[in-house]
Amino acid sequence: MSGVAKNKVGLFLLHCLFLRQIQALLVAVFLVALVAFTAQTQPDATTPQEPGYLSTIDRYQRHFRTDVLEIFRDKINSANLAPSEQSRLVSTVDSFERTLTAIFSDFRSAYQKAFLTQNPDSAAVKEARLLQENLKLSIELAQLEMIAVIKNIEQNRNVNKPVTKLEDLTRALEENRTIRRPLGNYIANFFPRREKFLTTVLRFLHHAMINTPITTIMKLIPLEPFTTQRTPPLLSVLSANGERSRLSELPANAVIILAMNHDVGTLDGYGIQKISEALGANRNMVLTTKGAWPQFLFHKNTDPDAFLIEEKTFSRRLFARVNALPTERITFSAFPEGAVAMAGAQFPQIANAGIFKIARDMAARLQGTRPVYYIRLTSNFLEHVTSGGEVPMHIEIREPELVPTSPLEGRSDVWVREKRHEFENSSHKYRGRFYDLREPMLLEGSRLFRVGGRANDCRRILQ
């Protein structure tokens, strides 16, 4: 081989070696980029990822400041008050806002420890829920005192009484005392309308005294004390990508877990009963608490389809009940938020994990011999009652999800955590407004004051 040929062969081999090095370098760069991209876009399944709820809390707090506190300050500044009265009012509102800001901070911290760590702190869970109730109730009651101040100013009356109540409320928050809910506010939120109120209360007391089964009472709930609407809520099915709904294809013996937001107390029970009937269930079982039903002040629970979370054996009794009805289609319903929302403090509420754990445990026990489905529901009942009936009642029904049959993994169960977070972030879809302090007035025939903004402003605020 000539020297020229040898040089050409050498150059060719050198060229091939160089290309292989370039190729290896590109592959290495690609793999590094892929790993980095995956680390950014695929969070560790063992680490909870939930920015949504705390972002919603931030927006809620910001809108309370602009839609309530700033409007009230403008009312004070433009009012014909004595300098001492005006100074006291300004000082009281400033103090209330500072105290509330500190509690919001404590709430965020407790929520992070309770729900955004690998090992949730049970004490933090309890603290977060207590702080939530204090925040929610103090925002509701503070607005009512502000409305009283505005009304007194308009009527040239002394503002001392509502201002003192606002000061007392602030002091209770500063001292970390539990805020007590006045009976009048409780009634206004549970029975918004005045129509047939006494008749309904007497009827409920009658059922309580004779210990009528809860699941029977839910079928007898009248609409008059809650709404001007005389027809059941519109039911709308939300299917992914416009696909045909699978609701009509559920097996005849399916166990269907229903979870809905808790907006207007007893009216919610009416709504979830209508969902059960629309799904063709033979019976609707309910998970509830003793405090929600007055008969448990006098009687033990004798309803075979009602289960109290205070009962230590309720889960065992539930599974026995389901197994005793092997061919029936059953719905089992609950309100994961536990507490009811308030008309003037439409607070984004924490969701409890209980119903999701029950769904997983039931599916694991049945091991596919009988399918267990989960359906998430979202009602607009609070939007409806605070619009004076202008916005019709409706309930959104998500597509049924088959619950996994693998063993429940305790507090770290991925499915339970995901469904709790999903529910928590969707339950405020039709909430988020406050009482209208610009022109405070009661809704016609209602115990509730008008809320601010248009009927769908809450979606702008919390979505």
Rounded distance between C-alpha atoms, residue 446 and residue 41, angstroms: 49
- Two structure tokens written together for 334: 């609950």
pLDDT tens string 97-134: 999 999 999 999 999 999 988 777 789 999 999 999 99
Report whether 449 contacts 369 (CB < 8 A).
no
Q: Residue 20 pLDDT > 90, yes or no?
A: no
- pLDDT score for 245: 82
Determine the 3-state secondary structure of 85 from DSSP: helix
pLDDT tens string 341-353: 999 999 999 999 9
Confidence of residue 29 (pLDDT cuts 50, 70, 90): very low
Q: Residue 25 pLDDT > 50, yes or no?
A: no
Rounded distance between C-alpha atoms, residue 410 and residue 457, angstroms: 39
Report whether 215 contacts 286 (CB < 8 A).
yes
Q: Which residue has the tokens 């009230």?
A: 72
The mean pLDDT value for 372-382 works out to: 96
pLDDT tens string 209-225: 999 999 999 999 999 99
Report whether 401 contacts 362 (CB < 8 A).
no
Q: Of 46-60, 270-284, 362-376, 435-449, give the lowest mean pLDDT range.
A: 46-60
pLDDT tens string 278-302: 999 999 999 999 988 989 989 999 9
Q: Enter the pTM of the model.
A: 0.85
Report whether 370 contacts 255 (CB < 8 A).
yes
- pLDDT score for 97: 98
Q: What rounded mean pLDDT belongs to the chain? A: 86
Q: How many CB atoms lie within 10 A of CB 352?
A: 21
Q: Of 14-23, 30-39, 90-99, 280-289, give the lowest mean pLDDT range.
A: 30-39
Torsion angles phi and psi, residue 233, rounded to 5: -65, 150
Which residue in 368, 387, 370, 401 sits closest to 446, CA to CA? Answer: 387
Rounded distance between C-alpha atoms, residue 234 and residue 393, angstroms: 6
DSSP 193: B
Angle, helices 70-78 vs 83-115, to 10°: value is 180
Q: Residue 139 pLDDT > 60, yes or no?
A: yes
Rounded distance between C-alpha atoms, residue 215 and residue 429, angstroms: 28
- pLDDT score for 240: 67
